[in-house]
Amino acid sequence: MKVQLRDPNTIMKLSRLGSFHQSKLSFLRSFLNEFKDWEYKRDLFNLDRFGYGEAVYSFKKDKRTYSLVCFANKIKDDERSDRVIATKWDAAFTLHDGVPTQKDIDRLKNEVPRQEVGRLSFKELTLSRANKSVRVFNHVVERLSEGKQPDLELLSNVGYLYRTTAVYGSGKFGLADRFRIKNREEINGPFRLEMMLVYLVRQFTFDQVNHVAHHKNPSKSVVLDRKICKNLGIGNSTGLGMAPFIVNHPTLLNNWVMSREIALKKIREIKIVKKKDSVLFIDCLKKSLTNITSWNTDSEYQQIKIKNLLKDIKKFIHFIDNNFDFEDEYPFNQIYLWLEEKACEECIEYVVSIMMEPYNEITNPLVSQMSSEEDKYFTIPTNRTIKDLINIIEKKYSNILKINFEKKQNTQNFWFISKNKEEPRLADRFKEGGSELEQPLAIARDVKKLHKKLLDMKNNSTVAEFLSKNSELRHIVRRVFIVEKFPYSEIQDNTIGKNLMPIDMLRLKLSFFGALKFDPRSDKWLRICMFQGAPLPDELKNYDEQWVYRSSN
Amino acid sequence: MKSLSEIETTAKRASKAAGFSWGEAEEIGKCIRQLEMFGLPGIKHLNSYFNDKKKNTYENLSSINQSNSSSLNPYCPIILGISFLDQLKIVENFKKIYISNIAYPIIFISFLSRSSEIIGKKINVKFDEKEIFLNLNVNIYSNFLNLEFPKNSKNIEINFIENKDNFNEDEWKSLYKLSENTFVEETDSLKKGAAGAGLTDND
């Protein structure tokens, strides 16, 4: 039986993309899988009794070493902010390519804590900063120094000691360009070095909290229990900065979603499912309920989604337990069809992720296909005809063409780059100034504009002729030829409409990172948790691959 | 040191701010990145061109012929470059193209370098007394790398180099003969047993 790939017109809608969950394809999980046999080491830990100073952690294999260089600084409570406007943080980090010399550390000490206004070199690969969850950090220090373990309920509610507020890579602020390192086998997957940074930062937070507690009361203090450590991750606050990325990297977006879609298709095409595989699927499904019930948020929008997810997952488990036989042919296809009919989008995508758990042989080869050589697809095939272009648009953007952009509500917002922080922002076109400097992220509107103009041209004219008179549509012509080859490269929705939920765009990207516990703080930013439940670095050589579903939080 | 990613992004944004469309700005960003990667003064000349553009007028050449001349104002190297890319399939047939009076030729050359990659042919460019060899956008070879690139060029001649060997047949044969000294002369026994297959396909 051949199953078709899912229709981009359904999958690439923002409400669906905003319902994606982590899976075996997620970058933090594929990072752990790739680096599990690397040698982990804490090379330097030079903190004072209050936890301020420098530390270095590394992963090493053969002649290659990656080193996380950490700088923990004292800041005042009123200087601590997760917003991008902040200028000081509790800790700042960079991932250095190789073993840093003392000269490197001295150089980095002057630059890394300054983040966006500092300058890095081609020897640095990623850059980040993080703030303490002061309430949790102080509580843990207090309890450990008294010889006790912390209150698990408090830890469970928050899920981390620190949260990062940005992770930069790929040439930002002088960091190494991707082309310098792209041929390294171990980073043949998107954001792998960003994941390494966050993972090592997590270990630093445990070491720091133990260190401070010990110096507070050397005779009585204990270290944080390893099981508790494992159930803590690293938080992250993410704002709009992430949203344009998925629009600006269409072939990359395609490769992420395409990998997920191919995995699902292959799983649905399995005729007979082995007992051990169905057992693993059901085990992950049932244990994952803890992930849903411990998913805390004040966001009404997300609370409704979680409530519906929990309701539908319970309904699905009841169906599996009582009305379903895994010995039937094509069981995962039956499951998928049941979900499409009976479950909400959040639940469909949740179960799709869990379906991948038994199938390393399907997911592992896909992981290496999730990067993209974007430059290969940059050149516009200008010898093609207007007729070709019209055909592609009508085939690939059929839903977009139905949107009426004459209506004010469909062009309500515009994307711009703020002068202060050089970060993307979203504003109301009819209330705020600056729309004349709009970023080219209104793809749906511009596709429709292009289509209208093309209809006035002769069918056999070339794209070159069209562009010579319509240069303002050049960026969108390029995209149309990309979507011709990459069906999942385009969000099939209006990114400037009144009803836009930007957090759907953030959620899509973060789900591929492997984030859990999406906690929208508004429609424009959210908090998440990464690596919660993940093995500690010294456990990597032999760890439970399904740790995500077996965490006790 | 600025990363190439920063160079591309800044060149793109500056180009949009200088009045080009987003799609054109994307092309400029790529070209300036490439020049800087080759060690050529992309940022310097783009910046200088945008400053001059505020005071001076430049001609837009949107349809390229075999011979192109602007008697009044110099050609804009960006519009010329983009037109060249877009009409590549046609202009390639000219074999030689002449362009007179062009501003900031190094910016235009970055578009020619990309053109070389797209059509899979090397391109030779002569302007004024100088010569540049564009090798499939892998590198740019020139006889005046350490000299200042001009802000204006009176005449440019562009030659598409057909794909052919850079050596003659005798040179090839001589080298090939030497390479044969790594081969083993086959005895009858080796002929029968060393290939791993039968001597005929009819067995």
* Sheet with B130-135, edge to edge strand ranges: B67-69, B96-103, B152-161, B122-127, B130-135, B139-142
The residues facing B157 across adjacent strands are B98, B126
Which two structure tokens, joined as six digits, stand for A30?
A: 């594929």
A chain contacts of residue B2, beta-carbon cutoff 8 Å: 174
The alpha-carbon gap from A436 to the nearest alpha carbon of chain B, in Å, equals 11
Asked whether residue A516 is assigned to any structural domain, the reply reads no
Asked whether residue A109 is assigned to any structural domain, the reply reads yes
Query: Which amino acid is residue B72, in one-letter code?
Result: L
For chain B, give the mean pLDDT: 91
pLDDT of residue B158: 97
Give the nearest partner residue to B83 out of A417, A440, A468, using CB atoms.
Answer: A468
Q: How confident is the model at residue B41 (pLDDT cuts 50, 70, 90)?
A: very high
The answer to whether the CB of A492 falls within 8 A of the CB of A400 is yes
Residue A53 structural domain: 36-239
The span from the CA of A342 to the CA of B157, in Å, is: 68
Name the burial class of residue B90, with classes exposed (0-12), middle (13-18) and buried (19+) by CB atoms within 10 angstroms of its CB.
Answer: middle
Q: How confident is the model at residue B32 (pLDDT cuts 50, 70, 90)?
A: very high
The DSSP secondary structure of A341-353, one letter per residue, reads: HHS-HHHHHHHHH
Tell me what the mean pLDDT of segment B57-76 comes to: 94
The alpha-carbon gap from B35 to the nearest alpha carbon of chain A, in Å, equals 15
Of all residues in chain A, the one with the smallest CA distance to B84 is A464
Which residues of A fall below an 8 Å CB-CB distance to B? 121-122, 170-179, 375, 378-380, 382-383, 417, 440, 463-464, 467-468, 471-478
Give the nearest partner residue to B5 out of A172, A472, A474, using CB atoms.
Answer: A172
pLDDT of residue B201: 58
pLDDT of residue A363: 97
Which two structure tokens, joined as six digits, stand for A260?
A: 């997920």
Please provide residue A189's backbone torsions phi and psi, each rounded to the nearest 5 degrees. -175, 145
Tell me what the mean pLDDT of segment A270-299 comes to: 94
Q: How confident is the model at residue A367 (pLDDT cuts 50, 70, 90)?
A: very high
The span from the CA of A421 to the CA of B11, in Å, is: 18
The span from the CA of A329 to the CA of A324, in Å, is: 11
Number of domains in chain A: 1
The span from the CA of A268 to the CA of A337, in Å, is: 10
Give the nearest partner residue to A175 out of B3, B22, B27, using CB atoms.
Answer: B3
Question: Is residue B200 over pLDDT 60?
Answer: no
Q: How confident is the model at residue A399 (pLDDT cuts 50, 70, 90)?
A: very high
CA distances from A454 to A397, A459, A472 (A): 14, 8, 13
Tell me what the mean pLDDT of segment A295-302 comes to: 88
In a mutational test of the A interface, the residue from B22, B60, B88, B111 whose CB has the highest number of chain A CBs within 10 Å is B22
Asked whether residue A476 is assigned to any structural domain, the reply reads no
Which two structure tokens, joined as six digits, stand for A148?
A: 């006790």
Q: Quick check: B3 and A122 CB within 8 A?
A: yes
Q: How confident is the model at residue B144 (pLDDT cuts 50, 70, 90)?
A: confident
The span from the CA of A252 to the CA of A268, in Å, is: 25
Cα A495 off chain centre by: 19
The answer to whether the CB of A515 falls within 8 A of the CB of B62 is no
Of all residues in chain A, the one with the smallest CA distance to B8 is A171
Terminal C-alpha separation, chain B:
68
What tens digit of pLDDT does each residue of A91-143 get? 999 999 999 999 999 999 999 999 989 999 999 999 999 999 999 999 999 99
Q: How confident is the model at residue A340 (pLDDT cuts 50, 70, 90)?
A: very high
The answer to whether the CB of A54 falls within 8 A of the CB of A206 is no
The span from the CA of A39 to the CA of A186, in Å, is: 14
pLDDT of residue A182: 86
Residue listed under structure tokens 């360009």? A177
Q: Quick check: B23 and A464 CB within 8 A?
A: no
The answer to whether the CB of B86 falls within 8 A of the CB of A468 is yes
* Of the candidate ranges A126-130, A421-425, B65-69, B189-193, the one whose mean pLDDT is the lowest: B189-193
**What percent of chain A has pLDDT above 90?**
86
Of all residues in chain B, the one with the smallest CA distance to A377 is B118
Chain A with chain B: Cβ pairs closer than 8 A: 71
Q: How confident is the model at residue A287 (pLDDT cuts 50, 70, 90)?
A: very high
The span from the CA of A166 to the CA of A115, in Å, is: 10
Residue in A482, A500, A357, A408 with CA at minimum distance from that of residue A15: A500
The answer to whether the CB of A357 falls within 8 A of the CB of A282 is no
pLDDT of residue A327: 96
The alpha-carbon gap from A94 to the nearest alpha carbon of chain B, in Å, equals 16
Give the nearest partner residue to A474 out of B24, B87, B118, using CB atoms.
Answer: B24
Q: How confident is the model at residue B198 (pLDDT cuts 50, 70, 90)?
A: low
Helices A250-268, A474-485: inter-axial angle, 10-degree rounding = 20
Tell me what the mean pLDDT of segment B121-142 comes to: 90
Question: Is residue A79 over pLDDT 90?
Answer: no
Q: Quick check: A471 and B23 CB within 8 A?
A: yes
pLDDT of residue A553: 60
CA distances from A528 to A94, A262, A536, A546 (A): 21, 27, 19, 19
List own/partner pairs for A139-144 with CB under 8 A and 24 or more apart: A140/A209, A140/A213, A140/A224, A141/A209, A141/A212, A141/A213, A141/A216, A142/A213, A143/A213, A144/A209, A144/A210, A144/A213, A144/A214, A144/A221, A144/A222, A144/A223, A144/A224
In a mutational test of the B interface, the residue from A116, A170, A379 whose CB has the highest number of chain B CBs within 10 Å is A379
A chain contacts of residue B30, beta-carbon cutoff 8 Å: 375, 378
Question: Is residue A272 over pLDDT 80?
Answer: yes
* Of the candidate ranges A304-318, B37-51, B126-140, the one whose mean pLDDT is the lowest: B126-140
Q: Does the ipTM exceed 0.95?
A: no
Tell me what the mean pLDDT of segment B30-55 comes to: 96
The answer to whether the CB of B49 falls within 8 A of the CB of B103 is yes
Q: Which residue has the higher pLDDT, B91 or A239?
A: B91
Asked whether residue A282 is assigned to any structural domain, the reply reads no
What tens digit of pLDDT does each residue of A430-480 get? 999 999 999 999 999 999 999 999 999 988 899 999 999 999 999 999 999
Tell me what the mean pLDDT of segment B99-119 comes to: 96
The answer to whether the CB of A382 falls within 8 A of the CB of B85 is yes
Q: Quick check: B1 and A174 CB within 8 A?
A: yes
What tens digit of pLDDT does each residue of A42-57 get? 999 999 999 999 999 9
CA distances from B148 to B40, B119, B155 (A): 10, 29, 17
Name the DSSP class of A114.
G
Question: Is residue B16 over pLDDT 90?
Answer: yes
For chain A, give the mean pLDDT: 95
The alpha-carbon gap from A268 to the nearest alpha carbon of chain B, in Å, equals 41
What tens digit of pLDDT does each residue of A204-235 get? 999 999 999 999 999 999 999 999 999 999 99
What tens digit of pLDDT does each residue of A350-362 get? 999 999 999 999 9
Q: Going along A288-338, which residue ranges are E strands?
A: none
